[in-house]
Amino acid sequence: MHRVSLVALTLLTLVISASAQFTFTSLDYPGGTLTTARGINDHGQIVGAYRILPPRHALLIENGQYIPLAPNTVLGATYSEAFKINDRGDVVGVFLDVNGFSHGFLLRKGVVTTLDFPGASETLALGINASGTVVGYWDVLDANGNLLAIHGYTWKGGSFTQFDFPGATDTSLFGINARGDVVGGWDTGVTSPIEHGFICSNKQCTTFDVPVAGATITQGDDINAHGDIAGGWVDAGGALHGFLLADGNFTSLDFPGATTTIAFGINAAGQIVGRYVAADGSIHGFLAQPQNIGKPQ
């Protein structure tokens, strides 16, 4: 996770277990040594990454099939990971160059477009909505590779716009829905041990934290058409959990038997995808299916 108080979300329930509300399914690339799930659209298409031998590569999961994304492009030649997919099938994510620096990408109709915020040391593309607006963050590094600053951005039609949560030193955008609502995380400095989640809608921004004593990090990773938010939080002991924030209520998400869980994507049906680490240290993707709906089409 990248790195406050509850200002507007005052009617929150305590975090509760999600085991009785979701059916969890592990997602594993056949023969792979690592699988992640980062985004899911309203058609049930899931994107993430897989690895057989290092590095990992961008992945699409569709109708039970695990499909490497654009394997004959830079996405198949170097480290790459897909983060979100919209209902048109446009995919955004991140790849590394030969020097290990991160670049955002947009994959549309088989064509990969590199997204680099002007003047940035690195750029990550982490969300996309139906209209093609991309969100993410960019950073600035010094000559020794030390992180100096992080800023969010939006991109549409070739134009970047910087986005900073009001009063924040660092801002990261992770998700955007069709209305243009954005979610992410903010903090007071690159060395801050505390991160807060936020949502901005109609130019009104609200910050939120998981309401658990001692929690240090809350990060909003995606938002669906209903305004439900999926993300991750870190407890006082340093353990990572996923969460769902819906109708003012937080629900903690933990894959059964996992040591860590984080939720990255949510669609309009409430299906959630993410990543968990098993007791043996292996990394897997997951789909969390609300028990009141059927399987994805």
| CA 205 to mean position of chain CA atoms | 19
pLDDT digits (tens, 9 = 90+) for 254-271: 999 999 999 999 999 999
In sequence order, what are the residues at sequence separation of 6 or more whose Cβ sits closer than 8 angstroms to the Cβ of residue 191? none
Query: What is the tens place of the pLDDT at every residue in 242-251?
Result: 999 999 999 9
Q: Which residue has the tokens 């992640």?
A: 36
So where are the chain's domains?
22-290
Mean pLDDT to the nearest integer, 270-283 = 98
What pLDDT score was predicted for residue 17?
55
Cis peptide before 71 (omega within 30 of 0): no
Confidence (pLDDT) at 21: 87
pLDDT value of position 61:
98
Residue 18 has pLDDT above 70, yes or no: no
Give me the percent of the chain exceeding a pLDDT of 70. 92
Token duo for residue 81: 């990971």
- pLDDT of 88 > 90? The answer is yes
Residue 36 tokens, joined: 């992640």
- pTM value is 0.93
pLDDT(16) > 70: no
Homologous superfamily of domain range 22-290: TolB, C-terminal domain (2.120.10.30)
Quote the distance between the C-alpha of residue 93 and its chain's center: 10
* pLDDT tops 80 at residue 1: no
